């Protein structure tokens, strides 16, 4: 979880050495290259998605910690699944927010008329929405399982 900001920082620090198609699908030109200002601003904006990733990892750590303690159908587990579902929805929202901001920052040094704002919705984003919905249903089912387990625990 702690490595996420370092990974994002490393990626933006050495972005010019990565193959461009790995990093960003761009339909625009970046005039003047990646200046330090662009790198810092791009890092800050991309940390919006990074924060969502860190939150998702923190929820996963909490969930596996509960499993380690033998707690399978408890209220805390249900909350974790709801949080994971929320994380995936937030991931898609973060993608929609960060992509135009990133393109704006990357083209901020371009001459007038060559600034760009890019929006896109990829199949991976739709998949994330679907999986988020499935996790939401799983959380609902687990809430029922939790009620049944509580009743079983108090049945002598």
Of residues 46, 64, 55, 124, the one with CA closest to residue 90: 55
Residues 97-136: x/- map of binding to another protein (CB under 8 A)?
----------------------------------------
Say how many residues make up the chain: 156
Return d(Cα 126, Cα 134) in angstroms, integer.
12
Question: In 3-state terms, what secondary structure has residue 58?
Answer: helix
Residue closer to another protein by CB (options 27, 151) is 151
Structure tokens at 31: 């005039």
Max CA pair span of the chain: 77
- Exactly one of 6, 21, 111, 155 binds another protein (CB under 8 A); that residue is 155
Return d(Cα 93, Cα 98) in angstroms, integer.
9
Q: Using CB under 8 A, which of the segments 22-30, 31-39, 42-50, 148-156 binds another protein?
A: 148-156
Residues 8-37: x/- map of binding to another protein (CB under 8 A)?
------------------------------
Residue closer to another protein by CB (options 125, 149) is 149
Q: Which residue has the tokens 């399982």?
A: 145
Residue closer to another protein by CB (options 2, 156) is 156
Q: Which residues bind another protein (CB under 8 A)?
A: 151, 154-156
């Amino acid at each position: 979880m702690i490595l996420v900001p370092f990974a994002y920082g490393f990626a933006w620090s050495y972005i010019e050495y990565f193959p461009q198609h790995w990093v960003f699908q761009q339909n625009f030109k970046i005039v003047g290259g990646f200046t330090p200002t662009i790198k810092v601003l791009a890092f800050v904006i991309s940390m919006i998605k990074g924060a969502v990733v860190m939150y998702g990892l923190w929820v996963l750590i909490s969930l596996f910690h509960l499993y380690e303690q033998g707690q399978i159908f408890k209220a805390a587990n249900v909350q974790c699944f709801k949080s994971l579902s929320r994380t995936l929805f937030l991931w898609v929202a973060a993608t929609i927010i960060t992509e135009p901001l990133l393109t704006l920052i990357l083209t901020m040094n371009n001459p007038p008329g060559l600034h760009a704002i890019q929006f896109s919705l990829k199949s991976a984003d739709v998949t994330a929405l679907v999986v988020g919905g499935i996790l939401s249903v799983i959380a609902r089912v687990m809430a029922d399982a939790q009620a049944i387990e509580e009743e079983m625990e108090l049945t002598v």
